[in-house]
Amino acid sequence: MSGTPVLVRHGQSEWNLKNLFTGWRDVDLTEQGVGEAIAAGRKLKARDLAFDVAFTSDLKRAQRTLALMLSELGQDGLATTRDLALNERDYGDLSGLNKDDARKKWGEEQVHKWRRSYDIAPPGGESLKDTGARVWPYYLHVIQPHVLRGETVLVAAHGNSLRALIMALDGMTPEQVVKTELATGVPVIYRLNADSTVASKEILAG
């Protein structure tokens, strides 16, 4: 057995609540989001997980989620790396728009394609495939070496950056990954074999 990467999508953000496309816009957590992050930390503590290192994005909703989890774990001083490679998918011209307003402007079908297809990007933004193109190398070169040394690694990031990572870990097809939903503040615990394949996966929902 090798290491244990744990993936957590940030708690509910202010723009999640307002049904806005967020992407790289740097918005904070709601009260509910703070509660979700604290609850995630408590779930991890209940599993007696202690982390060797943590990674997060360049956006404060993920950074704050990580800080709240580490506080619950009693690991406030844990070595943490922040990198925009783990940022949410960039929604380009959709960023800041209400999703219902976007449907009125471009049509239900077009907005659905931008949101749910694998390789169709919104104007000025990234597709899920584009997001993966920065997440996958970062994982392989920066995060995975810690995992293969047998370390327990906490990654607090975003719905789409983590979906791209889960796609690689689980060997998903593009059709499978676009149907994969990640709830806010719910830890996903992987245990990897020495050859980096997945030995087990557990989602700490509920």
On whether the CB atoms of residues 12 and 28 are closer than 8 A, the answer is: no
Residue in 10, 36, 72, 158 annotated catalytic: 10
| Dist CA 59 CA 167 (whole Å) | 22
Which two structure tokens, joined as six digits, stand for 156?
């607090």
Residue in 31, 36, 72, 88 annotated catalytic: 88
Burial of 48 (0-12, 13-18, 19+ CB in 10 A): exposed
To the query of whether residue 10 is one of the catalytic residues in this protein, the response is yes
| Dist CA 169 CA 201 (whole Å) | 10
Residues contacting residue 59 through CB under 8 Å, at least 6 positions apart: 24, 26, 87, 88, 158
To the query of whether residue 175 is one of the catalytic residues in this protein, the response is no
Work out the number of other CB atoms within 10 angstroms of the CB of residue 47. 12
Of the candidates 140, 124, 119, the residue with the CA atom closest to the CA atom of residue 192? 140
**Rounded to 10 degrees, what is the CA torsion of 49, 204, 189, 14?**
-100
Alpha helix segments (H runs only) across the chain:
14-17, 31-46, 60-73, 99-106, 108-116, 128-138, 144-148, 159-170, 174-177
Residues identified as active-site: 10, 88
